[in-house]
Amino acid sequence: MRSPAPVSRYAARLGALAAAALALVAGCTVGTGAGGTGATTRTELERDTVVNLFQWNWKSVAAECPRLAKVGYAGVQVSPAQEHAQVVNNPWWVDYQPVSYQIASRRGDRAAYAAMVQACHAVGVKIYADAVINHMAGGDSGVGWAGSAWTHYDYPGIYQTQDFHHCGIAPNDDIADYQNRAQVQTCELVNLADLDTGSDYVRGRIAAYLNDLIALGVDGFRVDAVKHMSADDVAAIMGRLSKPVERYYEVIDKGGEPISMTEYTGSGKVLVFSYGDEVGSAFQWGKIATLRNLAGGVDGTVARVFLDNHDTQRHGGAQVLTHKQPRLYALANVFMLAWPYGEPTVMSSYSFTDPDAGPASTDQSGTTKDTACGSDAWECEHRWQSTEGMVGFHNVVKGTGVELWWEDPSGNSVAFARGDRGYVIVNNATSPLAGRSFQSRMPPGTYCDIVHGAVVDGKCTGPSVTVKADGWFTADVANLDALAIHVGAKL
């Protein structure tokens, strides 16, 4: 991670951001949703981009899936499904404090969840459930969303005190030392009652919950807090699933700790947390040419990458880019979706000033409001034209490598080919690229710039470029802007 730039340089960059005229996010909440698909014929099986519709209710996810399908998203990561604790002011993190395995939460009941899965499957979009299996709630006692009474180590009909770790090696049994493997995997994470995942009974109850979601049709899981369980425990639980489904694990590993994400790749893929830090640092303070060999600590075939998520937006540090820096964030998403390492997850957020704040609600109990992009703080950055267009680009170029890399002397403007299927230019500099020629491997013809438009009725809704017989084309790219073409958006 790089140190922040001197104040004078950072102030200049902020000024450039504010002055940039060509908005990458134009039309983000009112577009047609066709920005990324063009005429692509790539199959659904080749898609791998997931959108995290963070804290959306089930009805709203179902309504969004037709647009996601048209754009080219493979699936949706949805918030935890199980009954959760109730906490004053309804913070977002109550969703990660289960009190039972009933499918009943502030986002909807079991019937609404099943309807969401069915609606998304009808248009070819997968559902990835955020699974909280390491722990239960963090308070002393309470009544859950669906009415289940509980205490810290007693969840009637599910778990009692013998089903939890009581580590006895740290004050109050809370993790105090992340350099101590035993503490991380058997003590409590911020007082959350830590399940004994080595117990056959506990493994069976967790697997039963996951299998219930599979029976409802979910296609896979994002598994929360995985490094707080041993790799053997996680593999044993996943071995009890009723059928093979995709899973990717939250293993926060940026180096320097005894628990590595490589320990878990035998039973699933892992979320690469260092990826967003590296990209965010390069775009804000460094040179994006340093991303030429961008990768994480695992092979790309088992990596799921992201710029930000619900945790890093709030507590990830200044290097993490979010929707609060819209132009740099849009550019970084262009790069992520153009780069071949890992499978990408795009974040869709709501804005906040209090990092604990939950989503807009309809009542004091915290029932989540239907999502209306552009109101009630819903950001819906997954709808930005540049991101929608690049999801289509990602699908079309999948399986190709990076060729014909170009960078300018500043190291903040780069371009590269993805085989003969696509070409992208990212200008993170404060000066435009005016009238410059670029060498691609694209077939000759006219292509729509999918960062700024789409193919609609045989025409480009935004700018276009013409590739000559030798693969060269000339283009203007504004400062802090991008351009991308692919064979699915050829006139």
Give DSSP secondary structure letters for 463-480: -EEEE-TTSEEEEEE-TT
The whole-number average pLDDT for the span 237-244 is 97
- From the candidates 130, 188, 250, 381, which is the catalytic residue? 250
Beta-sheet strand order (sheet of 422-427): 402-407, 413-418, 422-427, 481-486
Chain segment 92-116, per-residue pLDDT in tens: 999 999 999 999 999 999 999 999 9
Output the CA torsion 270→273→275→280 (10° steps).
160
DSSP-assigned letter for residue 363: S
Given a contact cutoff of 8 angstroms between Cβ atoms, the answer to whether 488 and 442 are in contact is: no
Is residue 314 predicted with pLDDT exceeding 60?
yes
Which residues does 427 contact at the CB level (< 8 Å), separation at least 6? Answer: 412, 413, 433, 477, 478, 479, 480, 481, 482
Whole-number CA gyration radius for the chain = 23
Q: At what angle do helices 58-71 and 385-397 cross, to 10 degrees?
A: 60
If one counts every other C-beta atom within 10 angstroms of the C-beta of residue 237, the result is: 22
- From the candidates 224, 278, 343, 381, which is the catalytic residue? 224
With cut-offs at 50, 70 and 90, classify the pLDDT of residue 344: very high
Mean pLDDT for the chain overall: 92
Residues of the chain above pLDDT 90, percent: 90
For 202-212, b where at least 16 C-beta lie within 10 A, e where not — what string?
bbebbbebbeb
Chain segment 140-187, per-residue pLDDT in tens: 999 999 999 999 999 999 999 999 999 999 999 999 999 999 999 999
| Domain locations in the chain as residue ranges | 21-397, 402-489
If one counts every other C-beta atom within 10 angstroms of the C-beta of residue 63, the result is: 15
Q: Residue 458 region, left (φ>0) first, then alpha (ψ -120 to 50), else beta?
A: left
Is residue 387 predicted with pLDDT exceeding 90?
yes
250 has catalytic annotation:
yes
The whole-number average pLDDT for the span 127-137 is 98
In this predicted structure, what is the pLDDT of residue 29? 33
Given a contact cutoff of 8 angstroms between Cβ atoms, the answer to whether 296 and 257 are in contact is: no
In this predicted structure, what is the pLDDT of residue 34? 37
306 phi and psi, to 5 degrees? -160, 155
Chain segment 275-307, per-residue pLDDT in tens: 999 999 999 999 999 999 999 999 999 999 999
Is residue 25 predicted with pLDDT exceeding 80?
no
If one counts every other C-beta atom within 10 angstroms of the C-beta of residue 221, the result is: 24
Residues of the chain above pLDDT 70, percent: 91
Is residue 316 predicted with pLDDT exceeding 70?
yes
In this predicted structure, what is the pLDDT of residue 140? 96
If one counts every other C-beta atom within 10 angstroms of the C-beta of residue 465, the result is: 21
Q: Is 178 exposed, middle or buried (0-12, 13-18, 19+ CB in 10 A)?
A: middle
Q: Is 484 exposed, middle or buried (0-12, 13-18, 19+ CB in 10 A)?
A: buried
Task: Please name every residue paired with 344 in a beta bridge, in sequence order, or none if there are none.
Answer: 305
With cut-offs at 50, 70 and 90, classify the pLDDT of residue 5: very low
Chain segment 176-224, per-residue pLDDT in tens: 999 999 999 999 999 999 999 999 999 999 999 999 999 999 999 999 9
With cut-offs at 50, 70 and 90, classify the pLDDT of residue 120: very high
Is residue 30 predicted with pLDDT exceeding 50?
no
With cut-offs at 50, 70 and 90, classify the pLDDT of residue 40: very low
257 has catalytic annotation:
no
> Does the domain spanning 402-489 belong to CATH 2.60.40.1180?
yes
In this predicted structure, what is the pLDDT of residue 46? 80
In this predicted structure, what is the pLDDT of residue 24? 57
Lowest mean pLDDT, pick from 35-49, 426-440, 460-474: 35-49
The whole-number average pLDDT for the span 74-82 is 98
Give 21-397's CATH code, choosing from 3.10.310.10, 3.40.710.10, 3.20.20.80, 3.30.200.20. Answer: 3.20.20.80
